[in-house]
Structure 1
């Protein structure tokens, strides 16, 4: 099933890859406080998802990306019917680029983490759904919606749906 209409969400997230590592942020505030997550945030009025993610990466990590590739969206439905979602992006830095970490910022601590560590099935230190979709966004060219449904904090359903143009 493909979407034929644009998707409008409030948030973005970016996974910056360098070799076999991803730059993550251990957030000091909700949501995902105390967990490692990608860089990103809320889309400002009049801003495209790409403009947002480029701005957020600069604000959070002082990295001026020229481009990030939209890999789809992550959506969730929680107990009680609350829904949310975000555009998910990937950017790649050459391995020769040095970015000193760990780095303390206003948002939390930024550090490079090995992909194998991020997606390890026993890792409880990353935002809960990242291990489910990170391998696909890093390895495949298509755009997908990664849908998560949880009840009382437990994941009860996860599916991946191919997308067409999303914004």
Structure 2
């Protein structure tokens, strides 16, 4: 059976002080009613990065470019793959609006972000991406030595 593929992206402001999240009302049980990154399922013939650009525009009304997104990890389960991206383009955060039946909101990335119901992975994705001193080095080390097929970490470039 072919695994269903998804993209999920976290778009931060340039200073990394805010991130755009969406309150999920459908999907896996672990994310319903929680704040998650913007994303959705890959369509036929679409790359994960193309999916991220399309989903971000559909769910926020803001057009981004392929170059605005860098993949930082890929999560895999028995029947799914989630390609995880990040970016830091202030315009893409501040001009976003709710365009579907799922609310989008700009959230401050200070310690209070953990007082809202986050999708489980965001509890480590957000601090990991915000820590610029260790992020790139850790990605390279883990990508080189991690032998677990369920989690791939990619070195990222500064956007």
**How does the TM-score come out when normalised to structure 2?**
0.70
Q: Which runs of 5+ in 2 are unaligned?
A: 144-149
Partner of 1:112: 106
Checking the alignment, whether the CA contact within 8 Å between 2:12 and 2:20 is kept in structure 1 is: yes
CA separation of 1:50 and 1:36: change in aligned 2, threshold 3 A: same
Task: Considering fraction of residues, name the structure with more helix.
Answer: 2
Mapping for residues 16-95 of structure 1, pairs under 5 Å: 16-18=11-13, 19=15, 20-31=17-28, 32-66=31-65, 67-76=68-77, 82-94=78-90
CA separation of 1:69 and 1:30: change in aligned 2, threshold 3 A: same
CA separation of 1:91 and 1:9: change in aligned 2, threshold 3 A: farther
- Computed over aligned residues only, the root mean square deviation of the Cα atoms, in angstroms, reads 3.1
Give the Å deviation of 1:132.
1.9
Q: Give the paired residue count.
A: 135
CA separation of 1:65 and 1:104: change in aligned 2, threshold 3 A: closer
Task: Considering fraction of residues, name the structure with more strand.
Answer: 1
Q: Which runs of 4+ in 1 moved over 4 A?
A: 159-164
24-33 or 88-97, larger mean C-alpha shift: 88-97
